[in-house]
Structure 1
Amino acid sequence: MTRIKLTSKEKSELVIEGIVTIVLLLLLNLAIIVIARQIINESYTLENIIFGVKDVLAKTFFDSSFYSLGTAFMFFLGVIDLAVLFWRLIRRYKQMQLRHIISELHYIANGNYDHRIPFELSGDLGKVVESINGLVDSTVEAIEEERKIEQSKDELITNISHDIRTPLTSIIGYLGLIEDKQYHSEEELLKYTHTAYSKSKQMKVLVDDLFEYTKVRQPSTPIQAIQFDMEQLLDQIAIDFELDAHKKGMSIEVTTHPSPFIMEGDTEKLVRVFNNLISNALKYGKGGKQIILQAEKIGSEAVITIMNDGPTIPENSLSHLFDRFYRVEESRNQETGGTGLGLAIAQSIVVLHGGYIYAKSENHWTSFVMHLPLKQKIDTL
């Protein structure tokens, strides 16, 4: 921060302001003295009172040879003149400061949002400068956030277009072959229709995930919070995935503490979170033998962990797992048919519940850890 430096023109303005003020004050003083003398000379009573006061003061406090009531009056006028001169110069100086501030503000308004008013001022003008700089900072943050949102929308559209175009091209291609009767047997026809059907389902999964993602990303999305037993919920989910886990040579184990585990939340949305996490464990946990669902109560939180002993995730990928369309290996999408939105949806649902989720991969275990409040502050519907 720096102090305002006046230009030569502004300094000249101050000098002229001072000279004009002094001249006006001298003329005013002269007028006051003339009027005062005229009043005193025309009023014998007032003149007698003044001379009486003068004699008393002279005898009591001062030597009459040094004392003059006129001198005291002139001194009084001089003090007032100095106060008026100081006030007018300060007022003009503050007007100049305000002009500098307005000039800086115009410079910022012309698009120079990285600039801040650099003046160090006291009083109200200092507060004005601080407020303007704070407002500019907030505006820049809002603009940057808006840019990120627009960039995020563009990336979302690009990724969706890419992921939809691939199965759509296959569907159009195979249906075109059927339309042109370019098949040699009923078996080949069924193969074409099956492929088109499979690609259609893949597109539907993407559209459904996209719809769910955009819905849970809205802060205004309502939470249908009810009281439920987390232990029963995890047991039911384990049963639902038991057959798929068995096909992949994996087992699902549930442990909770305490038992029963009573908490509040939107069970429909939480089931979506668990389904996404367990589906990922089954898809990417190749070679693993176990999927463990743990829930424990710590203070006012429920800490739920979904872990598997499949291949670990590289350290540099852990912080990006919840980014939409992010995949540790791009080739996995073709192998598993995933949309890349599952973990982003899971994170958004956890955030809606007032919690947070993170991943860690160490000691041959990959874990997704959720912290959820036991009681929801959101009003139940």
Structure 2
Amino acid sequence: MKLTTREKSALIMEAFVTIVILLLVNLSVIVILNDMIQTNPGLQDGIFIIKRSMVIGPNHYQLWSWENIFIGLMIAADAGVVYWRLIRRYHQMQLRHIIDELHYIANGHFDHRIPFTLKGDTQRVVTSVNALVDSVISSIEDERRIEKSKDELITNVSHDLRTPLTSIIGYLGLIEDHQYHSEDDILKYTHTAFSKAKQMKSLVEDLFEYTKMRQTDTPMNISKIDINQMLEQLAASFELEAEDKGIKVSVDIDDKPLQIEADAEKLGRVFNNLITNALKYGDGGHNIILRSKPVSEREIQVSVENDGSPIPEASLKQVFERFYRVEGSRSKATGGTGLGLAIAQSIVDRHGGYIYVTSDNEMTRFIIHLPVKNGEKIEHVQPKISPEENREE
């Protein structure tokens, strides 16, 4: 830390004033002691005996007089006092520099940090202040991101609710104003309003589920479940719907049970969302495959795969974002709420696992890794899957 010219002058003045005061004090002490010695013969005799005893060498050379000893001690004490006052003043200047730096940061220069390096406890103060500023700035940025996320959520929900609500009000308004020609028109209007109302209900339910799973204090009904049995039941439940679309749902699992500790209802919601998406958006596909396998004693892998249209590479990193729909499917008849994959990711995260997607012309895979034991968390590792591996499978 560099001192300013004014601060250097202040230190010099501090030293000068301290020395002058000490000289006056020393002079006063000497005068008082001399007066005491002159008026006390017994004290004079004692000092004389001490002086006679302080000799060195065979010639009995007298080394010091009492005046010299006293003056030497006073000079040493004075030097210590001067040093202490200068160091004390210097530390005050250091703290003033630190406070000035803090004011500079507080005035909006959040990328600035205290640049100088000091010694001792003062450096610990500087390090702590810089760390505290980093923490505060990080918290502010997190709060801004959360606020922005909330604003985006409100905007997206408002958009998705306003469109069907406008249709409901419009068609019911036609009925209310008797602007219809026949009973068939009434049935048509009410059917459209009913469909839009179900769409709104689906959005509200998905939004509720998403926000609930984002809260870490949401209770989980943990039990021991067999993933292989769950996949078989899901394949059977989607069989008729898939056949209507010319798609076959199959499972690729071991004969042995694959048991984990998890919330069966919420995991079922994850696989249900993934299979539903494969049926909706897997254009041109003929197969949906549900696979499971153990990765280790503490981890399993489950995947939902389809051979339909691939997800564009630019969209792979965004598919789990809430309200994101690939290729503008918001306006398509098949477009859902845009929350299904975000809900799936939140549920998997709550179980301590992770989910990711790979897609090419051969196969689109949604791959889930889950811990076997509840409460454990597994590290996210996303291996690359080549087209050759897709074709082999």
The TM-score, its normalising length taken from structure 1, stands at: 0.92
Q: Distance in 1 between matches of 2:133 and 2:59?
A: 64
1:183 Cα deviation (Å)?
2.3
1:365 Cα deviation (Å)?
0.9
Q: Distance in 1 between matches of 2:60 and 2:20?
A: 34
> In 1, are the aligned partners of 2:56 and 2:62 still within 8 Å (CA)?
no
> In 2, are the aligned partners of 1:223 and 1:353 still within 8 Å (CA)?
no
3-state secondary structure, aligned to 1:55: helix
Partner of 1:174: 171
Corresponding position: 1:192 with 2:199: no
Letter in 1 for 2:136: T
* Structure 1, 160-169 or 339-348: larger mean CA deviation: 160-169
Structure 1 residue ranges without an equivalent (≥5): none
1:50 Cα deviation (Å)?
3.7
Q: How does 1:324-343 map to 2 (within 5 A)?
A: 324-331=322-329, 333-343=331-341
1:325 Cα deviation (Å)?
0.6
Q: Distance in 1 between matches of 2:367 and 2:38?
A: 100
Q: Distance in 1 between matches of 2:60 and 2:21?
A: 34
Partner of 1:274: 271
Partner of 1:315: 313
- More relative contact order, 1 or 2 (CA 8 Å, 6+ apart): 1
* Counterpart among 224, 249, 252 of residue 255 in structure 1: 252
Q: Distance in 1 between matches of 2:313 and 2:36?
A: 97
> In 2, are the aligned partners of 1:272 and 1:346 still within 8 Å (CA)?
yes
Q: Distance in 2 between matches of 1:338 and 1:184?
A: 33
* Structure 1, 289-298 or 16-25: larger mean CA deviation: 289-298
Q: Distance in 2 between matches of 1:71 and 1:99?
A: 42
3-state secondary structure, aligned to 1:335: coil
Q: Distance in 1 between matches of 2:315 and 2:58?
A: 93
* Structure 1, 173-182 or 334-343: larger mean CA deviation: 173-182
Partner of 1:303: 301
Corresponding position: 1:139 with 2:136: yes
> In 1, are the aligned partners of 2:56 and 2:63 still within 8 Å (CA)?
no
1:297 Cα deviation (Å)?
1.6
Deviations along 1:271-302, whole A, 9 cap, x unmatched?
A: 11111111111111111111111122222112
Change (3 A) 1:310 1:112: same
Corresponding position: 1:85 with 2:87: no
1:48 Cα deviation (Å)?
3.9
Q: Distance in 2 between matches of 1:125 and 1:317?
A: 51
* Counterpart among 369, 372, 387 of residue 374 in structure 1: 372
3-state secondary structure, aligned to 1:330: helix
RMSD: 2.1
Corresponding position: 1:283 with 2:250: no
3-state secondary structure, aligned to 2:359: strand
> Matched residues, percent identical?
58
Q: How does 1:148-159 map to 2 (within 5 A)?
A: 148-159=145-156
Q: Count matched residues.
A: 375
Q: Distance in 2 between matches of 1:231 and 1:132?
A: 54
Q: Distance in 1 between matches of 2:217 and 2:359?
A: 33
Letter in 2 for 1:164: L
Q: Distance in 1 between matches of 2:203 and 2:313?
A: 28
1:312 Cα deviation (Å)?
1.2
Change (3 A) 1:333 1:281: farther
> In 1, are the aligned partners of 2:54 and 2:62 still within 8 Å (CA)?
no
1:332 Cα deviation (Å)?
5.4
Change (3 A) 1:62 1:84: farther
* Structure 1, 313-322 or 38-47: larger mean CA deviation: 38-47
The TM-score, its normalising length taken from structure 2, stands at: 0.89
3-state secondary structure, aligned to 1:375: coil
